[in-house]
Structure 1
Amino acid sequence: MASDDCRKDDLLEDNRTDSGIDSYRSILKSEEPREPSADFSGPRDKFPTVEERLDSAYGSSSITVESLSEIVVDCTLSSGQEEQTHQSSELTEQEENLLTTITEDGDTILHLAIIHEDKFIAQQLIQLFPKEVLDIQNNLYQSPLHLATYLNLTDVVKGLVEKGACLELQDQEGNTALHVACQHGQTECANEMTREVSPSKLAPVLEIQNWRGLACLHLAALNRQHQIMKLLVKKGADLNIQEGTSGKTALHLAAELHDITSVKLLLSRGANVDAAMFNGCTPLHLAVGRQDAAIANLLCQSGADTMLRNMEDETALDLADGNDDILALFPFDDIQISGRSVVSVKF
């Protein structure tokens, strides 16, 4: 019987060191998101750092693309024979045990197929596996959807989402697969994860914060992913959601990064120009503090309140530090009572 060929020994060898991924360093040439300040701490201790995995499944692996193909073909043929014989498409117990075997690194055969970037085999496995298996997370808490997104395998992402893969699973950094897409600029993957998903199902995904307190919109803003920002806003992302460490909105982050394109995008979509951080600072405070006259001007034109004070009792004007371009944006204090202007005109 063809299923007899589907043996665990074909998949795993004793003391194998194949991991499937070397913390993505050998697969991806990615950078950490650029952060404007030290407000964001590193990953929380909820998921301790896993030892670096020993290889990337490309050279020393006991699982090759050919062996993956043989396993899947054998099991697919077996399933067909079972269907003809028993009028059932269910896998035999032996096949199901093999296909759901977990390696020492927590990977299923689907994880490994994705790591090998074999889209055909991955799609075959997606069809073979029940939904519950699609959501198995490895030792780094990565689901197959996380891996497919990291590797920008759009068709695999589409197949997983269509089969019902969970969008809310978080990896060891607290990132969902959509977080990953926002961080690394995988626009098409983000499209597939949001295309056919109902607003009620997508809303909680857009609100999830990773262990640094960042929602998807924050990561997109930090990495200047303007197309993904537009997509998230279109799909109902909260423009004014605050990150968890200092209360910054995406508009605060864009102002810190001197990213006028993001500032314009967010303001045009209705972001709160006077949103306050936990310390009371508005985007205008941050723009003026960074001597960015262009963004400060844009914020003022959008109705920013120049008299708002932070917890240090500072207005944005107090942070201008003699910058004439920025000072010209503020009203001339003709009469003051208790330090506040009661009659003012614009320069």
Structure 2
Amino acid sequence: MDEGACRLLAKLAQEGPLSSMEEAISSGGSAAVQTAGGMHFGRSGDTLLHFAARRGHLDIVEYLVEQLGADVEVHNNDYKRPLHEAASMSHQACVSYLLREGAAVDSLKKADWTPLMMACTRRNLGVVQELLRRGADPALQNKDGWNSFHVACREGDPPVVRHLLAAAPDVWRTASKTRRTPLHTAGCTDSCGVTPFMDAVRNGHVSVARLLLEKHQASPTAADVLGAQALHQVAVTGQEEALRFLVRDLHVDVNQKATAEGHTSTIHTLLELGADLHARDQKGRTALHMACIGQHAAAARTLLQRGLRDSEDACGATAMQHARKPDVVRAFESGPPDPP
């Protein structure tokens, strides 16, 4: 087939309808019928079956497999199978069909991601259930040591997390190649020390964080190798609901060292929750120093307006000396309010 015909087939596999696909194949004669199902396209090396599975066109998927003999286990240049595509885009009907036709449920794409891991990046319990029914192993790990449970905790869908725990009660105990475990109770962390509980709260998934606490006693105060606890990571990402959950519900100390990332609303929330405006870190730096180091003008302005005066740290440097951007420098022009 010529280049134009190939482009048309790729377009029809993604957009349909099936009748147009059938017509295009028929017009190409017997050669098209024999070769179309196994053709690879572009830099990705996708096939027509990859395109159709990604878009959820079950009728085209069936046609390619049953009429053109497309291999359900064909892979592209990233070793993704059509099942990876269907699972990652939550197309349950395509997932079910491909599995019935013999697709390997735990096939590995680049970086050792399984279809179940891909499904756990979406909030579609049905696809996860279908893969597990067909024998998917939730404890398999990708090259970074993450299993499907880690992925589900990061994405924050409680039904998927609960179902994985019900299907494989010990999945939370799985330790990665870098000694990462899903929960702090296992006592091991990876080189960064980041766990699913931290991932859940810093992404604002309070319901998942509650689930991890209730089911497996995840520690809300364990820290990564930089000393940052879940509270610090929540402050960095500006997740105010999660921040209130940690402080009000779990009674995490709000005055522990945190990182200034310029979220002014989070600064207000921290202060409302009892944070000490004048607290200093081990280097004698205040939140104003950190805001200026990060060149966060709005944060610096907010702190000054709340009454935090500039001062020297342990090395004799003031916050203003760290100000480089004009808008950060201007934050100091009006000065803090007069003391009562």
Report the TM range for the smaller structure's normalisation: 0.5 to 0.7
Partner of 1:250: 230
Partner of 1:144: 115
CA contact (8 A) 1:174 1:209 kept: no
SS in 1 for 2:109: coil
User: Mind listing any 5+ residue stretches in structure 2 that lack a counterpart?
Assistant: 1-32, 175-180, 292-299, 309-339
Match of 2:96 in 1: 123
**Partner residue in 2 for 1:6:** none
Pick from 194, 198, 218 the counterpart of residue 165 of structure 2. 194
* Separation in structure 1 between the aligned mates of residue 99 and residue 107 of structure 2, nearest angstrom: 12
Q: Once structures 1 and 2 are overlaid, which stretch shifts more, 220-229 or 169-178?
A: 169-178
Q: After TM superposition, give the deviation of residue 145 of structure 1 in Å.
A: 0.9
Q: Equivalent residue of 1:145, what SS? A: helix
Give me the TM-score of the superposition, normalised by structure 2.
0.53
In structure 2, C-alpha distance between the alignment counterparts of 1:152 and 1:106, rounded to whole Å: 24
State the superposition RMSD in angstroms. Answer: 5.0
For residues 274 and 35 of structure 2, what CA distance do their matches in structure 1 show?
59
Distance 2:144 2:35 in 1: 29
Q: Which residue of 2 aligns with 1:25?
A: none
In structure 1, what is the Cα distance between the partners aligned to 2:35 and 2:149? 30
Q: Which amino acid aligns with 1:206?
A: P
Residue 135 of structure 1: SS of its match in structure 2?
coil
SS at match of 1:58: helix
**In 2 relative to 1, CA 12–191 (structure 1 residues): closer, same or farther, beyond 3 Å?**
farther
Q: Which runs of 5+ in 1 are unaligned?
A: 1-8, 19-50, 75-97, 277-281, 328-346
Match of 2:282 in 1: 311
User: Any conservation in 2 of the 1:145–1:177 contact (CA below 8 Å)?
Assistant: yes
From 52, 65, 73, the equivalent of 2:58 is: 65
Cα separation, 2, equivalents of 1:189 and 1:10:
41
More helix by share: 2
Residue of structure 2 equivalent to 1:17: 41
Alpha-carbon contact 1:135-1:166 (below 8 Å) kept: yes
Which of 209, 214, 221 pairs up with 1:240? Answer: 221
The answer as to whether partners of 1:209 and 1:216 remain within 8 angstroms in 2 is: no
Q: Give the partner amino acid of 1:203.
A: R
Q: Distance in 2 between matches of 1:234 and 1:226?
A: 12
Taking the TM superposition and a 5 Å limit, the aligned residue runs for 1:222-241 are: 222-236=202-216, 237-241=218-222
Relative to structure 1, is the Cα distance of residues 12 and 160 closer, same or farther in structure 2, using a 3 angstrom cutoff? Answer: farther
For 1:62-101, list aligned pairs within 5 A: 65-66=58-59, 68-69=61-62
Aligned to 1:206: 182
| 1: CA distance, partners of 2:59 / 2:189 | 39
Taking structure 1 as the reference length, the TM-score comes to 0.52
Secondary structure of 2:128's counterpart equals helix
How many Å separate the matches in 2 of 1:194 and 1:11?
44
1:292 is paired with a residue whose SS is helix
Distance 1:112 1:317, change over 3 A: closer
Aligned to 2:316: none
Residues 272-297 of structure 1 show CA distances to partners (whole Å, capped at 9, x for unaligned) of 42796xxxxx24x7599978254134
* Percent of pairs with identical residues: 17
User: Which residue of 2 is the match for residue 263 of structure 1?
Assistant: 243
Q: Does 1:296 align with 2:266?
A: no
**Deviation digits for residues 81-134 of structure 1, max 9, x if unmatched?**
xxxxxxxxxxxxxxxxx665555532345324435754234235557869xx43
